[in-house]
Chain A
Amino acid sequence: MADLALSGAPRARSIPEKVWGKIVGISRRSPTSIIGFVIILFFGLLALLAPLLMPYDPIAANPNLILQGPSANHWFGTDGNGMDVLSRVIFGSRFAFGIAIPVVIIALAIGIPIGLYSGYKGGNIDEAIMRVVDAFRVFPSIILALAVVAAAGPSLLNVVLVIGVLDAPIFVRVVRAEVLALRSSSFVESGLIVGNPTWRILFVHLLPNAIQGAMAQTAVRAAWAVRISATLAFLGIGIQPPTPEWGAMIRQGAEFMVNGQWWVGIFPGVALILMVLGLNMFGDGLQDLLDPKRRSGGK
């Protein structure tokens, strides 16, 4: 067939062509992952370059400029203490990452070993562990977080720890599911036949193969972490004003909304939504890319 005499070997491409090609290739498979990535990148840059980008000091109160609407000097207006909302929103992105990243790390550090062990052991041990894990998952996380923070104090550290622990069950489930699937393949038997002790089977053999699902979930769980911490701050737990965290800002803004001063709450709200959306889209897209079964078509 002459018209399809394209051989499988493509001609060599230059670096920029390759990079663009990769971007197009990925976005064909999963446009959401690219969009999500761009959003996260955007906020990441904001967080990183905050000192350079903020027009004003985010916690500099100015009693003369209280509750000014958006203007040329203050694009997002000022809040109840006279602080510039734009600067606060930009600085708030640091909190989003500052919470999301440690939370996910803690959740992974707790969830992965439990998932590995439970899936590998199976039987009664697995059942027992999963009952406990399910209890955590089912328990309304806000209430638990409220209780812990109320008892231990409203610091950032406590919030991160609590959310981290609450987030772990998902990773336990995901890792365990992959381990269960792997157990029936003979490479675990192979690991045993070579004489591996249990810890090596779990961490050297199972872990690298069971981690994909967990990795794909990280972005989505990060989104959840951001949302929860914002919710807690909104409820008055956790981070307190004047700290420029979006949830706390929304809380403050909710009071002023009634009086028509919408900018105090809406801007951080939009930032929060975008961030969470971006993380979710990226995470979802990542799952599409990594798990070939989710993709359609192909023989």
Chain B
Amino acid sequence: MSLLQVRDLHTHFISRNLDNEIRIATALNGVSFEVSRGEVLGLVGETGAGKSLTAYSVMNLLKPPAQVVGGVVEFDGRNLRDLETEDMNKLRGSEIAMVVQNPRSSLDPLTRIGEQLVRVHTAHTDTSESAARARAIEMLGAVGIPAPEQRMRAWPHELSGGMAQRVLIAMALMNEPKLIIADEPTTGLDVTVQAQILDLLRELVETRNVAAMVITHDLGIVAHYCDRMAVMFAGRIVETGAVETVFDNPEHPYTRTLIASTPERLRETKQKILGGGAPPNLYNLPPGCHYVERCQFADDSCNNPLVLEQVGDGHFAMCARMDAVREGWPS
């Protein structure tokens, strides 16, 4: 049973430029995916694909000129877009928690971390300060921070990158969230610390039946820590499925290019991958498939509107020319 169901989400940036013309950047163009309890969904895509924007749109944290202009965000049976601001505020930080990329920018530099953890708890529940403190210490321990009682009095700048990230996760856990959204949680951290944090996240998902969505550009993380993955391009999910399935049988040309560009595949195939190219212009996207300009298989049928089609068990892709791609892709 999926905990979070996003259907056809559209987010636009609407602004006026200095020539007083309205400019609309269609950043999310019909994003659809689901996340269930006890599983980790990996969201991958290049810069500008809309991964972080998706998370912020779901959490209703957009600031002008960005705004959600269409779609449904259903969490635990409720449509989040219909919620009153107050109710959404209650949800955020308690049932849905977000862990962001740069831990230091999320921690208040002028407050000790213990205090910040306590605040998160008392803001959402009716517990006493001492109960909140006890829970904070418990959470710090759960995320593997040594000597948690002493750490409560630490200032954010005293923490290393890895510690700070762990404190953020502890904060996310304070109110027993049902869903954790982690946006590039390990970028910039050393490989060992990365492993520790990801192991922790995985454990939470498995033992506490939490649902998790990990946004990353690192396919290695997706391969080993995610159960399912969704590939984003120009504001759309172009392929989604179980991790092994997508790695073994990518259908969409973009996914194929991504998988083929990993060092592991490059070593095997020694094939010339001419991936990449100009990033899509969100102010002026092609009418049908957004990948046409970079795709070697594009033809006129690609200009028609597209939907995610089922290509296997739990495996979906959005491409008008999948048969041609299957035949034409070098093996």
Asked if chains A and B are in direct contact (CB within 8 A), the reply is yes
Query: Could you say which residues of chain B place their CB within 8 Å of the CB of A98?
Result: none
Within 8 A of B (CB), among A1-46: 1, 4, 6-10, 18, 20-26, 28-29
**With A22-B18, A26-B18 given, is the CB distance from A1 to B63 under 8 Å?**
no
A18 to B13, CA, bound (A): 22
**From residue B280, how far is it (CB to closest CB) to chain A in Å?**
11
B188 at the A interface (CB under 8 A) = no
Cross-chain contact A299 with B22 (CB below 8 angstroms)? no
Q: Return 14 A-B CB contacts under 8 Å, by A number.
A: A1-B69, A4-B12, A4-B70, A7-B284, A8-B26, A9-B283, A22-B19, A22-B20, A23-B20, A24-B20, A25-B16, A26-B18, A299-B62, A299-B65
What 1/0 flags go to B51-64 for Cβ under 8 Å of A?
A: 00000100000111
Query: Could you say which residues of chain B place their CB within 8 Å of the CB of A6?
Result: 22, 24
A28 to B65, CA, bound (A): 15
A195 at the B interface (CB under 8 A) = no
B10 at the A interface (CB under 8 A) = yes
A23 to B20, CA, bound (A): 8
Could you say which of A4, A21, A24, A28 contacts B69, with CB atoms under 8 Å apart?
A4
Cross-chain contact B284 with A8 (CB below 8 angstroms)? yes
Query: Could you say which residues of chain A place their CB within 8 Å of the CB of B70?
Result: 1, 4
**From residue B292, how far is it (CB to closest CB) to chain A in Å?**
16
B25 at the A interface (CB under 8 A) = yes
B47 at the A interface (CB under 8 A) = no
**From residue A297, how far is it (CB to closest CB) to chain B in Å?**
5
A10 to B17, CA, bound (A): 12
- Which residues from chain B sit less than 8 Å from chain A, CB to CB? 10, 12-13, 15-26, 56, 62-66, 69-70, 281-285
> What 15 additional pairs, Cβ within 8 angstroms, besides A8-B281, A22-B20?
A1-B10, A4-B10, A4-B69, A6-B22, A8-B25, A8-B285, A20-B20, A21-B19, A21-B21, A22-B19, A28-B20, A289-B18, A297-B63, A299-B13, A299-B56
Query: Could you say which residues of chain A place their CB within 8 Å of the CB of B64?
Result: 297-298
A289 to B17, CA, bound (A): 11
A4 to B13, CA, bound (A): 12
- Output the nearest chain B residue to A30 by Cβ-Cβ distance: B18
**With A6-B24, A299-B13, A299-B63 given, is the CB distance from A18 to B19 under 8 Å?**
yes
A84 to B270, CA, bound (A): 89
4 closest pairs, A vs B, by CB? Answer: A8-B283, A25-B20, A21-B20, A24-B20
Cross-chain contact A8 with B24 (CB below 8 angstroms)? yes
A1 to B18, CA, bound (A): 26
Cross-chain contact B284 with A9 (CB below 8 angstroms)? yes
Query: Could you say which residues of chain A place their CB within 8 Å of the CB of B283?
Result: 8-9
Cross-chain contact A298 with B15 (CB below 8 angstroms)? yes
Query: Could you say which residues of chain A place their CB within 8 Å of the CB of B65?
Result: 297-299
Instruction: Please count the residue pairs between chain A and chain B whose beta carbons lie under 8 angstroms apart in the complex.
Output: 59
Could you say which of A4, A18, A23, A297 contacts B24, with CB atoms under 8 Å apart?
A4
- Output the nearest chain B residue to A4 by Cβ-Cβ distance: B69
Query: Could you say which residues of chain A place their CB within 8 Å of the CB of B62?
Result: 299
- Output the nearest chain B residue to A24 by Cβ-Cβ distance: B20
What 1/0 flags go to A190-204 for Cβ under 8 Å of B?
A: 000000000000000
A20 to B170, CA, bound (A): 54
Query: Could you say which residues of chain B place their CB within 8 Å of the CB of A25?
Result: 16-21
Query: Could you say which residues of chain B place their CB within 8 Å of the CB of A298?
Result: 15, 63-65
Query: Could you say which residues of chain B place their CB within 8 Å of the CB of A29?
Result: 18
- Output the nearest chain A residue to B18 by Cβ-Cβ distance: A25
**From residue A32, how far is it (CB to closest CB) to chain B in Å?**
15
Interface centre among A26, A28, A299 (most CB of B within 10 A): A299
A127 to B222, CA, bound (A): 50
A29 to B25, CA, bound (A): 19
Cross-chain contact A10 with B12 (CB below 8 angstroms)? no
Query: Could you say which residues of chain A place their CB within 8 Å of the CB of B19?
Result: 18, 21-22, 25
- Output the nearest chain B residue to A21 by Cβ-Cβ distance: B20
**From residue A10, how far is it (CB to closest CB) to chain B in Å?**
5
Could you say which of B10, B16, B23, B24 contacts A28, with CB atoms under 8 Å apart?
B16
Query: Could you say which residues of chain B place their CB within 8 Å of the CB of A10?
Result: 21-22
Query: Could you say which residues of chain B place their CB within 8 Å of the CB of A21?
Result: 19-21
Query: Could you say which residues of chain A place their CB within 8 Å of the CB of B18?
Result: 22, 25-26, 29, 289
**With A4-B24, A6-B24 given, is the CB distance from A299 to B66 under 8 Å?**
yes
A91 to B315, CA, bound (A): 80
- Output the nearest chain B residue to A28 by Cβ-Cβ distance: B16
**From residue A239, how far is it (CB to closest CB) to chain B in Å?**
40
A256 to B15, CA, bound (A): 55
A6 to B12, CA, bound (A): 11
- Output the nearest chain B residue to A1 by Cβ-Cβ distance: B70
- Output the nearest chain B residue to A23 by Cβ-Cβ distance: B20
What 1/0 flags go to A261-299 for Cβ under 8 Å of B?
A: 000000000000000000000000000010000000111
A6 to B69, CA, bound (A): 13
A28 to B18, CA, bound (A): 8
A26 to B18, CA, bound (A): 5
Interface centre among A1, A23, A298 (most CB of B within 10 A): A1
- Output the nearest chain B residue to A2 by Cβ-Cβ distance: B70
A25 to B17, CA, bound (A): 6
**From residue A292, how far is it (CB to closest CB) to chain B in Å?**
12
A245 to B13, CA, bound (A): 52
- Output the nearest chain B residue to A18 by Cβ-Cβ distance: B19
What 1/0 flags go to A132-153 for Cβ under 8 Å of B?
A: 0000000000000000000000
Interface centre among B18, B25, B62, B64 (most CB of A within 10 A): B18
**From residue A286, how far is it (CB to closest CB) to chain B in Å?**
13
A297 to B13, CA, bound (A): 12
